[in-house]
Amino acid sequence: MSTASTPGVVRDTVDGPVQTGPSGSAPTTSGTRTAYPLYVTGKLGGAVVSLLAVLVTSFFLFRIIPGDPVKAMTHGVPTSAEQLATLRKQFGLDLPLWQQFTDYCGRALTGDLGTSYQFHAPVGELIATKLPATLLLTGVAVVIYSALGLWLGARSAWRNGSLSDRLNTGVALTLWSVPSFWLGLLLIIVFSVGIGPIPGMFPTGGMESGDSSGFGYVLDVAHHMVLPVATLVAVGYAQTLLVMRSSLLDEMGGDYLTTARAKGLRDDLVRRRHAVPNALLPTVTMVFINLGHVAAGSILVETVFSWPGLGGLFYQALSVPDLPLVQGLFVVFAGAMILMNLLADLLYPLLDPRVGR
């Protein structure tokens, strides 16, 4: 008896059991329609749990930082014990730890991240003020090094073992192992200060000179961005290239590529239409993680180049320590990463229908 004539037969495929229709020729989609909402619900639940874990971690983690935030608020000015006690009471630091934690969680869930000890301003307003500079710097860098890494990684894997592959891989491995702050300092020495016949061509830090407007202001900001963006691109593209190369090499021996070539497709079409799409899942994860870094910025690079973004603000907050500001920035950074990972997970079934079944 042929299984093709039996309604509702389950037949095994390389992707697992598939429910066929009455004719046995076409699989039904009811299982897929049922599975995807469950997949999305699971991912959303995981994101919520992760965010709650971030709130707990952000509170207790920074309580172990050495230093007294109340004394730091006085900026070294002689202060009596009574005045210090008043400040602790004003900022709620005299309460038991469990009560501080519940108050913090209650405010955070309503969007209130507290008031900065150092700047005496709401943490949310400080973050909103510094966020555009960080989005500009790291956003431009992420777009450039993601595109560059994907392109060079695919070409290197497709020409595995060639001179260009060995050169690209060697440069990427070298740059990936270089600390970003060290590379930034090196670029400042060479291209800002100047060495020998090489004159200083770029500013040593900051975002603008403050003496231009209109299109001149745009050029001024772009001029200040060259070195920090180059630092982020040099380190970021290397990781993207290596991941894309490794993922595509895993796909190189697939039978579907041999079949595509046997059909007479050109080699570049086989790579672009068949191999690269199937190698994108690991790289998509990395690209979305990099997009999460756009909000966090780069603490080291922004500090080295005195860029007025969230990374530099986080460094200032840690040096005090300014607990509300540190906690608020940590929640924003981690929240951006959780959101980008969630979007990547939701995108997977669109790239590979086997995901989410």
Q: How confident is the model at residue 264 (pLDDT cuts 50, 70, 90)?
A: confident
Contact between residue 279 and residue 248 where contact means Cβ atoms under 8 Å apart: yes
Domains of the chain plus CATH, in order, are: 32-66+113-351 (1.10.3720.10)
Residue written as token pair 């500090």:
303
Mean pLDDT of 168-185: 88
Bridge-based pairing state of the strands 10-13 and 16-19:
antiparallel
pLDDT at 160 over 60: yes
Secondary structure in 3-state letters for 123-143:
HHHHHHHHHHHHHHHHHHHHH
Q: Which of 98-102, 203-207, 282-286 has the lowest mean pLDDT?
A: 282-286
Q: Where are the alpha helices (DSSP H) in 212-322?
A: 215-251, 255-262, 267-270, 276-278, 280-296, 299-304, 310-319
If one counts every other C-beta atom within 10 angstroms of the C-beta of residue 282, the result is 14
User: Could you tell me which residues come within 8 angstroms of residue 226 by beta carbon, excluding any fewer than 6 positions away?
Assistant: 202
| pLDDT of the residue at 209 | 80
Q: At 19, is the secondary structure helix, strand, or coil?
A: strand
Rounded Cα–Cα distance for residues 54 and 335 (Å): 8
Q: Where are the alpha helices (DSSP H) in the chain?
A: 30-61, 69-73, 81-90, 97-109, 123-158, 163-176, 180-187, 215-251, 255-262, 267-270, 276-278, 280-296, 299-304, 310-319, 323-351
Q: What is the pTM of this model?
A: 0.72
Contact between residue 278 and residue 91 where contact means Cβ atoms under 8 Å apart: no
User: Could you tell me which residues come within 8 angstroms of residue 102 by beta carbon, excluding any fewer than 6 positions away?
Assistant: none
Each residue's pLDDT tens digit, 31-88: 555 677 888 888 888 888 988 888 888 777 766 766 666 666 666 566 677 777 777 7
C-alpha pair distances (Å), 213 with each of 208, 210, 255, 308: 10, 8, 59, 19
**Structure-block tokens of residue 9:** 């037969």
pLDDT at 20 over 60: no
Burial (CB < 10 A; 0-12, 13-18, 19+), residue 318, is: middle
pLDDT at 181 over 50: yes
Burial (CB < 10 A; 0-12, 13-18, 19+), residue 35, is: middle
| pLDDT of the residue at 322 | 79
| pLDDT of the residue at 32 | 53
**Structure-block tokens of residue 162:** 């060639």
Each residue's pLDDT tens digit, 220-234: 889 889 999 999 998
Contact between residue 107 and residue 115 where contact means Cβ atoms under 8 Å apart: no
Contact between residue 148 and residue 244 where contact means Cβ atoms under 8 Å apart: no
C-alpha pair distances (Å), 35 with each of 24, 355, 357: 21, 10, 5
Q: Residue 122 phi/psi, 5° resolution?
A: -60, 135
| Cβ-count burial 215-235 (b if 16+ within 10 Å, e if not) | eeeeebbeebbebbbbbbbbb
Each residue's pLDDT tens digit, 332-354: 888 888 888 888 888 777 766 66
Each residue's pLDDT tens digit, 87-133: 777 767 777 777 878 887 888 778 788 888 788 888 889 999 998 99
* Residue 18 β-bridge partners: 11
Q: Which of 25-39, 81-95, 162-176, 190-204 has the highest mean pLDDT?
A: 162-176
